[in-house]
């Protein structure tokens, strides 16, 4: 272990910890006296930890699904329960939402640090490593909610697929689906990889690989879901019912179209149309990217995910955290990633200032502000999708071992150099 942790990685880790500390201060600075003057919207310090602490039985120690409602999948519900338990254990009767926020931030920081280590170990180039260590989305979302868990599973599955361990990647993606739904989009790409990528073997062997992959994904998901689904089916299914019943969020294309009177749709219409538009576009992405990426179809997961985010009826601000680390792994160029970040930060504050205006605050944003931010971010995402289809993947994916060996050589030189 000591041989791998060189000075460069320690510098990266230090910056990441500072970034996450900034995220803690960003979310916690307005919690000392409670949200009394709409500061959760005007300053952007809103965190789901506050409503969950009192409204989902976390403060009382109620077990999610069995004793309390929970609109997250099982692994995320378990994480919320564990973080709440840690806050109560350490702070006892004085535990409050701010302490819960602290443990949520610590857990998300640990996940972000684990990703940094995995990225570094796999040979991700320096610019991309620093882009994760100092990631603006970490400041905005390290204390926002629990999506970092699914992000970790999704990125981990991609790294396993890069090594050719498709069944392991499918199992990890299956666990990701047990934390949040979006990692499911990786599974069809892994299945196609098992059937058509790699060595040219007979169809029997290909079907066996694909079957093993499907069994790994379904088995991992079922392992954590079935006990809860059988014991508490109503609360277990709330996530899926909630996802289907909600109308949308202000920064989604569907809500923007409605706000300006361009295209009004009911919830069932949105569910159907969003699914059809997504499936059509995702099929096109795979078809257009097939020739270039046939040997590593998992590289198309970020553009497929970006298309899902653009067409879905819900685009919550923290969805940007889903995509950002995956773009660092696969985006051919970083300039459109930077543009995506700018649009995402703009959309974050525009949406919360819009909430502030609804509540009567002087600092307010309009639907036009949200639409402009969403347009910039959406344009960057379309650019990233186009880049993924027409440009070769980043060099570190093509020559990972050489890069890793170079890093290890530099490390040895650093260790043995005279002081």
Q: What is the DSSP letter of 64?
A: B
Which of 139, 211, 220 shows the shortest CA–CA distance to 183?
A: 220
| 265-302-186-392 Cα dihedral, nearest 10 degrees | 140
CB 64 within 8 A of CB 80: yes
Burial 271-291 (b: 16+ CB within 10 A, else e): eeebeeebeebbeebbebbee
Question: What are the pLDDT digits (tens) for 197-230?
Answer: 766 678 888 899 999 999 999 999 999 999 999 9
Which of 388, 331, 400, 323 shows the shortest CA–CA distance to 162?
A: 400
Question: What are the pLDDT digits (tens) for 101-123?
Answer: 999 999 999 999 999 999 999 99
Q: CA 25 to CA 47: how far, in whole Å?
A: 12
Q: How confident is the model at residue 397 (pLDDT cuts 50, 70, 90)?
A: confident
Question: What are the pLDDT digits (tens) for 30-64?
Answer: 987 789 889 999 999 999 999 999 989 999 999 99
Query: Would the pLDDT of 77 be above 90?
Result: yes
Query: Would the pLDDT of 100 be above 90?
Result: yes
Q: How confident is the model at residue 414 (pLDDT cuts 50, 70, 90)?
A: very low
Query: Would the pLDDT of 411 be above 50?
Result: no
Tokens at residue 320, please? 């940007």
Percentage above 70 pLDDT, the chain: 93
Percentage above 90 pLDDT, the chain: 83
Q: CA 261 to CA 187: how far, in whole Å?
A: 37
Tokens at residue 72, please? 């997250």
CA 294 centroid distance within chain: 25
pTM score, whole prediction: 0.92
Q: What is the DSSP letter of 239?
A: H
Query: Would the pLDDT of 413 be above 70?
Result: no
Query: Would the pLDDT of 404 be above 50?
Result: no
Q: CA 85 to CA 160: how far, in whole Å?
A: 32
Mean pLDDT score across all residues of the chain: 92
Half-sphere exposure of 193 (CA within 13 A, CB side): 27
């Amino acid at each position: 272990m000591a041989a791998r942790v060189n000075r460069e990685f320690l510098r990266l880790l230090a910056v990441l910890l500072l970034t996450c500390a900034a995220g803690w201060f960003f979310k916690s600075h307005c919690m000392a006296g409670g949200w009394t003057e709409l500061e959760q919207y005007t300053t952007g310090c809103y965190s789901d930890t506050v409503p969950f602490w009192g409204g989902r039985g976390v403060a009382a120690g109620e077990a999610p699904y069995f004793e309390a409602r929970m609109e997250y999948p099982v692994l995320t519900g378990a994480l919320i329960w564990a973080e709440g338990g840690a806050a109560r254990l350490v702070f006892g009767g004085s535990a409050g939402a701010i302490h819960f926020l602290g443990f949520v931030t610590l857990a998300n920081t640990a996940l972000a640090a684990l990703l940094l280590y995995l990225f570094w170990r796999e040979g991700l180039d320096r610019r991309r490593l620093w882009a994760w260590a100092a990631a603006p989305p970490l400041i905005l979302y390290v204390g926002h909610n629990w999506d970092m868990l699914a992000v970790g599973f999704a990125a981990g599955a991609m790294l396993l697929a890069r090594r050719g361990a498709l069944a392991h990647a499918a199992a990890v993606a299956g666990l990701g689906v047990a934390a949040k739904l979006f990692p499911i989009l990786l599974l069809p790409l892994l299945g196609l990889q098992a059937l058509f990528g790699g060595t040219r073997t007979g169809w029997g062997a290909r079907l066996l690989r694909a079957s093993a992959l499907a069994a790994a994904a379904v088995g991992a998901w079922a392992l954590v879901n079935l006990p809860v689904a059988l014991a508490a089916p109503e609360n277990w299914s709330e996530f899926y019912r909630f996802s289907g019943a909600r109308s949308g969020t202000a920064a989604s294309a569907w809500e923007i179209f409605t706000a300006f009177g361009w295209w009004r749709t009911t919830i069932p219409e949105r569910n159907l149309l969003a699914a059809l538009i997504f499936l059509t576009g995702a099929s096109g992405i795979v078809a257009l990217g097939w020739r270039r990426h046939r040997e590593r179809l998992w590289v198309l997961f970020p553009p497929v995910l970006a298309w899902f985010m653009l067409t879905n009826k819900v685009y919550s601000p923290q969805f940007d955290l889903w995509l950002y680390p995956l773009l660092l792994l696969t985006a051919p160029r970083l300039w459109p990633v930077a543009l995506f970040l700018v649009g995402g930060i703009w959309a974050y504050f525009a949406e919360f200032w819009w909430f502030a205006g609804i509540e009567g605050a002087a600092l307010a944003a309009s639907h036009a502000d949200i639409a402009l931010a969403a347009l910039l971010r959406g344009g960057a995402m379309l650019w990233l999708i186009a880049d993924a289809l027409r440009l070769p993947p980043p060099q570190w994916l093509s020559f990972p071992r050489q890069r890793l060996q170079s890093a290890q050589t530099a490390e040895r030189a650093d260790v043995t150099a005279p002081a």
